[in-house]
Amino acid sequence: MNHGKIKQILLLTDGCSNQGEDPAAVAAFAREKGITVNVIGVLDHGSARDHGMQEVENIAASGGGVSQIVNVDQLARTVQMVTKQSMTHTLHGVVQSELSQILGSGQEVDDLPPDKRGEVVDVVDELGETVDLDVLILVDTSASMKPKLPMVQDALTDLSISLHSRTGENHFALFVFPGKRKDTEKMLDWTPEMNSLTGVFQRMTTGGITPTGPALQAALQHFDKRLSKRSLKRYGEDEFPIEESGF
């Protein structure tokens, strides 16, 4: 079977963006480019859902992805679940469109009798196991996120364990926002291992602004760069600074 690739942005944030373009618009654009945007809203212990969490749902909805709002202690489980759910969702969509071509438009997997549906699910399961996956992780490091960062690090290590148990290849990149001098800062370029995370979050300074939109924009550009580099047959090292321009 031809190995495709799934591209995802995983955004971890705890509140409202307050600088730059509307993150939902950037997410909608990402979706058009075949990149799914998943968002996890991280709550403090005992705090209720606030209006910042509405934004979380909006971004994921425009980005064709999955959103979850969780307490920080559930983060590890949620991060891997959201990533996997979103993969299945994407693959389901691919299989769906293939099926519509075969069966005629308007025909959906859900319209199949349960027996036939089982065979389709087997195909989706198989693809989910073998497909290659690129996840760009975008972590909000504004001041209120600071105490949650050790848990974020644990959750990302956990995600790495989960994805490495698959047959398909994985690549991760890690960006944080706001950065030291820029809106966004690259902490980790495309790498198959996330073991190198230790200490990443200690080094960084947390700031007051939350430029979620520009951060998503930078993430998209990083995906583009990977594509163009790929065509040059050399990827891995990236020495270019992240551009911050809008589209």
Partner 1 sequence: MEKMNSQSKNQAFDLAPGTAWTGKWNQNPYKIIKRLGKGANGVVYLADTRTGQKAVKIGEDKMSLTSEVNVLRAFSKVQGNVLGPSLLDVDDVIWKGEVYPFFCMEYLEGETLLDFARKRGSEWIPVFMVQLLGDLDRLHQEGWIFGDLKPDNLIITGPPSRVRWFDVGGTTRQGRAVKEYTEFYDRGYWGLGDRRAEPSYDLFAAAMILIETAYPRRFDKPGGAAPEKTLSLLRRYIQHSQPLAPFQHVLLRALKGEYPNAQLMKKDLIQTIEKKTSRKPPASPKQKGKPHKKTRPRQRAAGSSKEKASYRPEIILTTSFLFLSSVLYFMGQWM
Give the interface with partner 1 as residue ranges (CB under 8 A).
Answer: 57, 60-61, 64-69, 76-77, 85, 88-89, 92, 109-110, 113-115, 117-118, 120-122, 124-125, 129, 150, 154, 158, 161-167
Comparing CB distances to partner 1, the nearer of 127 and 137 is 127
Cβ pair 206, 217 in contact under 8 A:
no
d(CA 106, CA 220): 32
Comparing CB distances to partner 1, the nearer of 4 and 118 is 118
Cα distances (Å, whole numbers) of residue 206 to 15, 68, 149, 179, 225: 14, 23, 10, 8, 27
Cβ pair 208, 171 in contact under 8 A:
no
Q: Where are the beta strands (DSSP E) in the chain?
A: 5-13, 35-43, 64-71, 132-140, 170-177, 185-191
Cβ 63 to partner 1 shortest distance, Å:
9
Q: 83-99: string of b/e by CB count within 10 Å (b at 16+)? A: bbebbbebbbeebbeeb
Cβ 224 to partner 1 shortest distance, Å:
24
Cβ 121 to partner 1 shortest distance, Å:
4
Cβ 143 to partner 1 shortest distance, Å:
22
Comparing CB distances to partner 1, the nearer of 124 and 242 is 124
Comparing CB distances to partner 1, the nearer of 161 and 227 is 161
First-residue to last-residue Cα distance in the chain: 36
Cβ 200 to partner 1 shortest distance, Å:
13
Comparing CB distances to partner 1, the nearer of 8 and 67 is 67
